[in-house]
Amino acid sequence: MTQRRVLASSTGAAHARILGLGAYRPSVVVPNADLIERIDSTDEWIQQRSGIRQRRWADPEESVRVMGTAAARQAIERAGLDARQIDTVIVATISHLMQTPALATLIAHDLGTDQAAAFDISAACAGFCHGVSLASDLVRAGSAGHVLVIGVERLTDLTDPDDRGTAFIFADGAGAAVVGPSDTPGIAPVVWGSDGEQYDLIRQREDWRDVVASDSPVMPHLVMQGNAVFRWASFAMAKIGLQALDRAGIGVDELDCFVPHQANMRITDAMARSMKLPDTVRIARDIVDQGNTSAASIPLALERMYADGDARSGDTALLIAFGAGLAYAAQVVVLP
Ligand code: UT7
């Protein structure tokens, strides 16, 4: 009888935490007034329905590569690390327009960390929280030492400027986090999932073959059944947030910051009400001046909270992200 071979297994750090955060806001500031004529809207309607006052758009030079690398550099610096200490780069994006290779390989190269494992993930607006969860597991399993998670989008490339349902919402930007080993728990268990039955609610209008076959090809813009997404997010996501708190072993009274995906201010408020968050919980409201940047929105919102004095090192923060798929992910983290 041949003897069964037993393979080696890896074990990593006892815990993982976010060591540093970074952000990049692109240069073009676009107030509602600049959009309303084209989509037959008003500044008042947009502010009332979404909370958005202005958004940031990338100029032609501000590619996903440029923005993602800038946010990553800041996160690495704030983590007190050298780029060469990053051994895994995960990019969450839906707007890297090259299907392959992954944007992560380019950014790893630009950072000078060519040896790093580098790959993109596609979970739309939920991408950053998916990335943080993967990073935490990689560090704890011993597959990685320091993982860079980047959420970056140039949604303006995929937005129809004449579409009343999306043109005023989507925007551009990047955020990043470095996840590494920790003596104490800094990233609680994730609650995540998807509902493919609602696949059609937010999606690219058509696939590339249809674009190519068209007599007058245009970009396959994003289309969204906004109201259906709005209702789903407002009700279903509060339950997911409470489950994430439960999995972290803390109650709402032990939470310092609530940082939901910046989809719509009314969704944020509905979730906070539904979860019965006390007034002491500071709530991210970056959407007002930044718009909805999909995978970049949570790290950008966190950066704003630090800048405004609403987030401090050691705070507990509930991150919850949701979007196309429909996919979602939520976790409690300790802020760096
Ligand atoms: O990031 C991924 C996840 N995304 C989201 O979570 C987005 C969720 N959805 C939303 O944020 C909201 O659905 C929107 C902000 C997109 C729209 O707000 P709404 O309150 O759901 O509006 P609605 O689509 O139900 O439309 C209400 C009314 C309609 O008029 P009538 O039928 O009531 O007369 C629309 O025709 O508002 C009208 N309308 C507009 N009016 C001015 C729709 N779009 C516009 C517009 N300007 N841009």
| CA of 41, closest atom in ligand 1 | 47
Distance separating alpha carbons of residues 133 and 238, to the nearest angstrom: 19
Residues 39, 122 within the same domain: yes
User: Does residue 56 sit in helix, strand or coil?
Assistant: strand
Quote the tokens at residue 21.
């955060």
Active-site option among 96, 146, 221, 261: 261
Residue 166 burial (10 A CB sphere; 0-12, 13-18, 19+): buried
Catalytic: 125?
Answer: yes
How much is the pLDDT for 114?
A: 84
Extended beta strands in the chain, E state: 15-24, 28-31, 54-57, 88-92, 117-121, 147-154, 172-182, 191-194, 202-204, 222-224, 257-260, 282-283, 316-323, 327-334
Q: Report which of 68, 35, 271 is spatially closest to residue 170, judged by C-alpha positions.
A: 35
pLDDT per residue as tens digits for the range 60-111: 999 999 999 999 999 999 999 999 999 999 999 999 999 999 999 999 999 9
Catalytic residue among 125, 129, 146, 221: 125
Do 171 and 225 lie in one domain? The reply is no
Q: Is there a domain that residue 196 lies in? A: yes
Average pLDDT over residues 300-309: 97
Helix, coil or strand: residue 95: coil
Best mutation site among 32, 44, 49 for ligand 1 pocket (most ligand atoms within 8 Å of CB): 49
CA of 147 to the centre of ligand 1 (A): 38
115-148, pLDDT tens digit by residue? 999 999 999 999 999 999 999 999 999 999 999 9
Mean pLDDT value across residues 23-32: 98
Whether omega for the bond prior to residue 278 falls within 30 degrees of 0, making it cis, is no
Q: From CA 202, how far away is CA 100, in angstroms rounded? A: 23
- Backbone φ and ψ of 31, nearest 5°: -75, 160
Report the distance separating Cα 220 and Cα 239, nearest Å: 33
Q: Closest Cα partner for 153 from 7, 315, 293, 38?
A: 293
Residue of 26, 27, 30 lying closest to 55 (CA atoms): 30
Pair 286, 304: CB distance under 8 Å: yes
Q: Measured from the CB, is residue 127 less than 6 Å from ligand 1? A: no
Domain ends where: 182, 209, 238? 182
Residue 150 main-chain phi, psi, to 5 deg: -120, 135
Residue 1 included in any domain: no
Is 276 inside a domain boundary? Answer: yes
Q: What is the pLDDT at residue 171?
A: 98
171 and 288 housed in the same domain: no
Reply yes or no on whether 292 is catalytic: yes
DSSP 149-167: EEEEEEGGGG--TT-TTTT
Range of the domain at 130: 15-182
Rounded Cα–Cα distance for residues 172 and 67 (Å): 9
Q: Which two tokens stand for residue 16?
A: 């993982």
Distance 81 CA to ligand 1 centre (A): 44
Pairing mode of beta strands 191-194, 327-334: antiparallel
Instruction: Report yes or no on 4 lying in a domain.
Output: no
Say if residue 175 is in the same domain as residue 252.
no
Total number of domains constituting the chain: 2
Average pLDDT over residues 147-172: 97
Looking at residue 1, its pLDDT comes to 64
Residue 68 CB neighbours (<10 A): 34
Question: pLDDT-derived band of residue 3, with 50, 70 and 90 as boundaries?
Answer: confident
Asked if residue 95 lies in contact with residue 48, where contact means CB atoms within 8 angstroms, the answer is no
Residue 19 predicted with pLDDT over 80:
yes
Mean pLDDT over the full length of the chain: 97
Does 321 sit in the ligand 1 pocket, CB within 6 Å? no
Given a cut of 80, whether residue 2 has pLDDT beyond it is: no
Residue 5 belongs to a domain? no
User: Residue holding tokens 């995960």?
Assistant: 90
* 174 and 290 fall within a common domain: no
Average pLDDT (256-270) is: 98
CATH number for the domain including 132? 3.40.47.10
